[in-house]
Amino acid sequence: MQRTIFSEDHEAFRASVAEFVKRSIEPNAERFIEERAIDRETWLAAGELGYLGLGVPEEFGGSDAGDYRFAAVLGEELAKASAAVASSFGIHYDVCAPYLVELTTDEQKRRWLPKFCTGELVTAIGMTEPSGGSDLAALKTTAVRDGDDWIINGSKTFITNGFNADLVIVAARTSPEKKAKGITLFAVETGMAGFTRGRKLDKVGQPESDTAELFFDNVRVPDANRIGETDRGFIAMMERLPQERIGAAISNTAHAAAILDETLAYAKERKAFGQQIGSFQYNKFLFAELVTKLEVTQAFVDQGIAAHAEGKLSAVDAAKAKWWSAQVQNEILDACVQLHGGYGYMREYRVARAWMDARVTKIWAGSNEIMKELIGRELGL
């Protein structure tokens, strides 16, 4: 179906991002996988083009797009190339940016945002803990006030960009007796004594997205690095999770679409028993089902993008888009592997890597089960 949410300006921006992907991402894809990270040169290239500061005011070095649809276009084009690249950049420009733009003081903005926009300062967000998973209210990392500073102790895990980030937004418990209402956010920066990182985690997929454990051993963080109000961190996270989840849905859908297109082309070329494998009735029907399911998903995600651009996306609708797109993405990619036969199980084929990369989307940004719990509560259950 014809998509209707993007204007000529959005499509011109899409062409720019596609050129960036062709020039800076695709030629380096294998190296990123081998090194298990995206190099800083690529971050700087993205910054130079204004991609990292889409949501940042111009006075602090951003491009201030003023329209979430530009971020959606960027996410789609990156995801077509690699789910991991889309994830790493998305954590920075789509997930961390709202915290640093909306919750910080002018002094903090001047200190962090210019380099955030250029790619000189890469960010991550430290929510998930070894014992917590999707239950953010149960986090155990603590921050205790000590004069003009806070002393942070604890750990985080599964942190995208965690190994190379220059600044990590860390959620810590500041008033244990208040439970969810006693969490505060802090900017922990590289070089702070007691802040260390574990190894790059060995994931099933998305190796080029550096993911790490983070450890805080009496890390002294000045109150000038507190982000937002004390004990308001949980609310701040809940308010910004819908953007993270619609961003995940955008990436999920674009990633699945790219691999499905490649698989359709393969099915037209590959022959078995004297005919194209795509012409067998079962495969033809399967493609019909996959294309329809993808386009229906895209239509819902597009409505989520449009709603968010107007500031009207609800947490429940974002949850619907996140879990459904992840489910459809995984169904499509599993079918694509099957259609490639034995080749679909070979790592050198993009379909195999995409299949591995996609599995985590049903887990991160809040597991699909948590998304269904949120939707069920909204139904009064």
253 backbone φψ class: left, alpha, beta (φ>0; ψ -120 to 50): alpha
- Residues 118-156 have pLDDT tens digits of 999 999 999 999 987 667 778 999 999 999 999 999 999
- Distance CA(257)–CA(296), nearest Å, equals 12
Across the chain, mean pLDDT equals 97
| Residue 182, amino acid | G
Burial (0-12, 13-18, 19+ Cβ within 10 Å), 260: buried
Q: Cα–Cα–Cα angle for 96, 7, 64, nearest 5°?
A: 35
Cα distances (angstroms) measured from residue 332 to each of 12, 261, 291: 29, 11, 9
Cα distances (angstroms) measured from residue 256 to each of 221, 232, 259, 272, 328: 42, 37, 5, 25, 8
Q: Give the residue-averaged pLDDT of 193-200.
A: 96
pLDDT band (50, 70, 90) for residue 352: very high
Strands 226-227 and 275-276 turn out to be unpaired
- Distance CA(50)–CA(86), nearest Å, equals 16
Is 245:301 a contact under the CB 8 Å cutoff?
no
> What does the pLDDT read at residue 137?
77
> What does the pLDDT read at residue 136?
76
Is 61:117 a contact under the CB 8 Å cutoff?
yes
- Distance CA(100)–CA(109), nearest Å, equals 7
Candidates 76, 75, 77; CA nearest to 90 is 75
> What does the pLDDT read at residue 5?
98
Question: pTM for the full model?
Answer: 0.96
Give yes or no: 8 in active site: no
> What does the pLDDT read at residue 39?
97
Catalytic residue among 76, 129, 208, 244: 244
- Residues 203-247 have pLDDT tens digits of 999 999 999 999 999 999 999 999 999 999 999 999 999 999 999
Is 60:114 a contact under the CB 8 Å cutoff?
yes
Q: Give the residue-averaged pLDDT of 100-125.
A: 98
Q: Give the residue-averaged pLDDT of 338-362.
A: 97
